[in-house]
Every structure is written in structure tokens, then in C-alpha cells.
Amino acid sequence: MKNISIPNSDLDASEISLGCMRISQMANSDIATLLHTALDVGINFFDHADVYGGGQSEAKFAEALQMTPQLREKMILQSKCGIQQGYFDFSKDHILEAVDGSLKRLRTEYLDVLLLHRPDALVEPEEVAEAFTILQDSGKVRYFGVSNQNPMQIELLKRYVKQDILFNQLQFSITNTGMVDAGINVNMENPPSVDHDGSILDYCRLNDITIQPWSPFQYGFFEGVFLDNDKFPELNQVIDEMAEAKGVTNTAIAIAWILRHPARMQPIVGTTNPDRVKAISKASDITLTRQEWYAIYRAAGNKLP
């Protein structure tokens, strides 16, 4: 597993992260096997959120691992806060309370990374800035980021927040390519030319913000996986042929396609199957050619202008 040095930090992170959203209903023994498998293949970055499993994903993560200081130091733990039942909340009080809850459930004294979970329309960046400073000065959070935010939302935060924004979690997969479609179709009037994100891909590259693609195997908004799906025959044929030629699984090719982008993204995979973790990790050993990357892009139904 290759690592990436996260800009403006001392984080040496695996280029693939394991998302822990779905572990809350698993047996502790199965969770321990999953997590130790991830560590064994070189994954050291684990993504959480206070809402995953109603907090149980964080709690069971630490419980299953029987978290110790020695084990904790081998990991980079990231969590997110801000989603409430029916609304978003980036108030100072909520951020501080949410972090304390995550720390307790994860049995740790600090988070390596805290992300604001989706945008809050009522955000008061002055309050976010106060919360971030309190968390950093107290040692409870080392670094900060956001999810699903556009450039102007991040710029608004940056006007008040003194800490660097290191990450932005965004939906991106072979079948969810809006971030690159608009850039390819500049000055066109076809549907892919519509920029829904404010050039967020280029903005993140210009500002040393690491994009963390979520749901890298999903199409639509949690509508299902595109791999081995009859809805995507041409795409699966191209991926399967590449996988066979390179001696890896189709999951590895799907992640290698994301890793090939020079933005040095860090995809978050949410599998709970240890064997799939091993298979996906092989993506780190593959570098697709430019021709292969575009062949997959076209096979997903995208047309070049």
C-alpha cells in the first residue's frame, strides 16, 4: 500500500481509507478481523462519523479492537460531525459536544482529523473558528476538513478559521464523474458541461486540499454498485478485461481509476469483507495508462467533445 503525505500536515496516510459506516451491526470478532486485515495490507486511515450507526460504529470499532495506546498510534482516525435529525448544525456548542462524544466512543484522547459533515446553510463561520481553535489548543483534534463543500463555502470558512482545511469528502466514482465532466466539456452546451460544483476539483488541487471520494463503487446516490451490474455492460466488460490482464479484481481496477487522477485523491472504501479489503488494496500497485483511464471513462457512457 502506497502512502500519501497530506499537504500542510505531518500525516503519512494510506492512499486508500477504510470507511466504517457499516460496522455497527457486525459481531466484534468480525470487526476485529476486518480492521486487522486493513492494517495488515497497509491501510492506516479509518473514516468515521458520529451519525454512523447512531454512534455505534465508533463505539464498536474501539471495542472490537480493544483499543490501546500502542494500537492507536498505528492509526489515523478521522470523524465527522454536523448532521442532526432533520437538520445540519455547525454551531460551536454542537461541534464541541460531538467531538467529546466521538472521543469517548473511540476510546482515544484525540482525533487526527475532524470534518464538517455536509454544508450547514445556517453556518456561522465565526463559531466554527472558535470551536476549531478550542479543539486544536486542547489537543482533541489535530487537523480539520469538510465534506461536500464547494469553493466559496470553503473560502467563507477560511476567512475566519485559522487552521488549514486539509480534506474535502466528495462523491466520485467511475459513474459519478461530475467533477471531471464539466472540465472536459468547457465552452460546450451539452449537459456534461454544467458545472454543479464550482470547479471544486481544480480548487482543491490549487489549495492543497485532499479529495476523499466516497461511495467509489456506487452509481447515483446509493442506488447500487455498478460492478457486475447488468445496467453497465460495456463498462463491466472493459473493467473485467483490464482486471484479467493485470491479475486483479474489478474492485481494484475501479479504485485504481480514481488513484490515477493526478489530484492524488484518497478514496474511502466501505466494504466489511476482509477478502475484498485485500483485493481492493491491490489498486495501490496499479497505475493505469492515460489510454486505459479514458477507455473506462468512455465505457461508462461519457462522450468526449
CB 64 within 8 A of CB 28: yes
What is the CA angle 122-129-267, rounded to 5?
A: 80
| Catalytic choice (52, 143, 219, 297) | 52
Does 297 participate in catalysis according to the annotation? no
Give CA separation, 2 vs 86, 100, 207, in Å.
39, 32, 23
Instruction: Render 41-70 in DSSP notation, one character per residue.
Output: TT--EEE--TTGGGGHHHHHHHHHHT--HH
Task: Go through the chain and tell me how many residues it has.
Answer: 305
CA distances from 18 to 118, 161, 262, 294 (A): 19, 28, 21, 26
4 CB-near residues (< 8 Å, 6+ apart): 12, 13, 14, 15, 210, 264, 266
CA distance 54 to 122: 23
Give the dihedral of Cα atoms 271, 277, 279, 281; nearest 10 deg: 120
Tell me which residues are annotated as active site. Answer: 52
